[in-house]
Amino acid sequence: MKKIIIENLITLFYALIVALFIRSFLFQPFYIPSSSMEPNLLVGDRLFVSKYSYGYSRHSMPFSPKIFKNRILENTPVVGDVIVFKTPADNRTDYIKRLVGVPGDHIQIINGDLYINNIKVIKTKIKSLFNVTCGDKIIDVDFYEETLPNGKKHISVYKKEGSMLQTDLYVVPENHYFFMGDNRDCSRDSRYLDSVGYVNFNNLVGKAKIIFFSNDKKIGTLYQFWNWNKSIRGSRFLKKIN
């Protein structure tokens, strides 16, 4: 009996080591808790983030141990990537946003349009007066397909009324990045210098790759199996994140 217990403990130990290796160096699961990336990411989406996409920093590891100062095996992020990062405010909280500006870029919203290095980002209206969530509220928005300067396209939404029209000019510092949520008027992101602001390269955790599971908690939790036919969003399973 003692031998069986020891063997099981050894097996469990190796399983934990393998899981820790996968989580730290390959893929880590994340849960979407807010509506800041709607309609592309919904509250209740669960996704995999690749930890190797931009190399590794201390924030690649659980609890962000101070084992090395800078990134190793680093790769440069691409504008348009959806990225998980640690917020500069506490270097602990995970945020997920879209990369809009790289070091040296000039970012500004003028008359409701996004400008990157004095070039207006092309946006084409897709839908009007379509509802998305903002916390506990439902807001009326216009859907747009935006084309970033490098040609990458994504869907973003702006409030039909009361959308942010003007911002200061943001100049992205060296070794930092500028992020925005796709739900533009319901996102605390780099536009808010007091809480998020410019994000250091070392704070990047990884690139969002694919949704592996999704459940609408407004209808029912995972424990409420009698609501699975309504709460589980099967159409979002294995959906690639653009």
End-to-end CA distance of the chain: 52
Q: What is the pLDDT of residue 91?
A: 87
Catalytic residues: 36, 97
Q: Binning pLDDT at 50, 70 and 90, where does residue 36 land?
A: very high
Q: Is residue 18 over pLDDT 80? A: no
Cα separation, 37 vs 31, in Å, equals: 12
C-beta of residue 195 within 8 angstroms of C-beta of residue 188: yes
- CATH for 179: 2.10.109.10
The range of the structural domain enclosing residue 235 comes to: 2-240
What pLDDT digit, counting tens, does each position of 167-214 carry? Answer: 999 999 999 999 999 999 999 999 999 889 999 999 999 999 999 999
Give the containing element (helix H, strand E) for 4. Answer: helix 2-25
Radius of gyration of the chain (CA): 20
| pTM of structure | 0.89
Ramachandran area for residue 142 (φ above 0: left; ψ -120 to 50: alpha; else beta): beta
Please state the domain count of the chain: 1
What pLDDT digit, counting tens, does each position of 129-146 carry? Answer: 678 989 888 999 999 999
Q: What is the pLDDT of residue 14?
A: 58
